[in-house]
Amino acid sequence: MTIKDTIRKYTNELKYVTHIPAKEVEILMLHLLGKNTIWLHLNYNEEFTMQKELEKLVKKRATDYPIEYIINKASFYGENFIVKEGVLIPRPETELLVENAVEILKNKKDKVKVLEIGTGSGIISVMLAMLIENIEIIAVDINEKALELAKQNAVKHDVEHKIDFRLSNLYENVNEDDIFMTISNPPYIANDYKLPSNVKYEPSNALFGGNIGDELLKGIIEETANRNIEFLLCEMGYDQKKPLEDYFKEFNIKSSSFYKDYEKFDRGFTLQYKI
């Protein structure tokens, strides 16, 4: 069977789990072949010799198992990152969090120290290290598997010398007093929220933030204020803007702003404390 016919055959099996079934079949084929998209398109009429291997991957994907875990790869900010089961998959909307941080950091002339809470696969810290020349990052997580993966991504993008990876629950193992900014995409989903079936394969401790959902966020906001850190940038749930706005009033805030994601949902905030 040719590559073209194989794509047509398996597209039908993925039409209920993705809006781009043909594209995902191609991605799985390229993963098996170790080739790129251009090669695939130039060889559409050639024989595809890995039918059994592809069938196995398609059946796994058809259960809503994330394609990123199958191919161990995800794209973020135009770069490829290693992804592994047990660590949260990067989301496109988190690029906005990075962009907001870059806007603040790019004008700093002296070396700037940034803390990332809950680094996961390391995408935020790695991108900031790539985009900001004079930066020193402390990246913490409670998941040892995540830290190991984040280190691999830092090495892959040649920024491991800029990032200090630490096992830490929030600020627990962070004693520095010269941190300029904290950035975080913390768990912010309410514990009783029913997740879409494709998300159930991802680690729950990277998703659920408490009975209401914003408990961890509020803890980070309070502790950042206590540490006299000037900036805090966080991702949040689409329905958390109003309660967080009210919570901000308990602190000495110089300025605050919210931003929306690509779907126009409220998705994050920037806080500047008076220090």
Give me the DSSP letters along 183-250.
Answer: EE----EETT----TTGGGS-GGGTEEESSS-HHHHHHHHHHHHTT-SEEEEE--TT-HHHHHHHHTT
Q: Could you tell me the two tokens for 104? A: 């603040």
Contact 34, 72 (CB under 8 A): no
Q: Could you tell me the two tokens for 204? A: 């729950």
- Chain-centroid distance of CA 120 in Å reads 7
CATH fourth-level superfamily of 91-273: Vaccinia Virus protein VP39 (3.40.50.150)
How many Å apart are CA 5 and CA 140, to the nearest integer?
47
pLDDT digit string, tens, across residues 98-117: 999 999 999 888 999 999 99
Closest CA to 61 of 112, 24, 9: 24
Q: Could you tell me the two tokens for 98? A: 């990075």
| Structure confidence at residue 233 (pLDDT) | 98
| Structure confidence at residue 199 (pLDDT) | 79
Q: How confident is the model at residue 194 (pLDDT cuts 50, 70, 90)?
A: confident
Average pLDDT, the chain: 94
Query: How large a percentage of the chain has pLDDT more than 70?
Result: 100
| Structure confidence at residue 187 (pLDDT) | 82
Instruction: Please give the model's pTM, rounded to 2 decimal places.
Output: 0.92
| Structure confidence at residue 256 (pLDDT) | 97
Query: How large a percentage of the chain has pLDDT more than 90?
Result: 87
What would you report as the CA-atom Rg of the chain, rounded to the nearest whole angstrom? Answer: 21
**Cα angle, residue 150 at apex, residues 232 and 131 outer, rounded to 5°:** 55
Is the pLDDT reported for residue 45 higher than 70? yes
| Structure confidence at residue 190 (pLDDT) | 66
Q: What is the mean pLDDT of residues 70-93?
A: 94
Contact 44, 4 (CB under 8 A): yes
Closest CA to 272 of 180, 167, 202: 180
Q: What is the mean pLDDT of residues 150-154?
A: 98
Is the pLDDT reported for residue 189 higher than 80? no
Contact 238, 255 (CB under 8 A): no
Determine the residue type at 243: P
Is the pLDDT reported for residue 50 higher than 90? yes
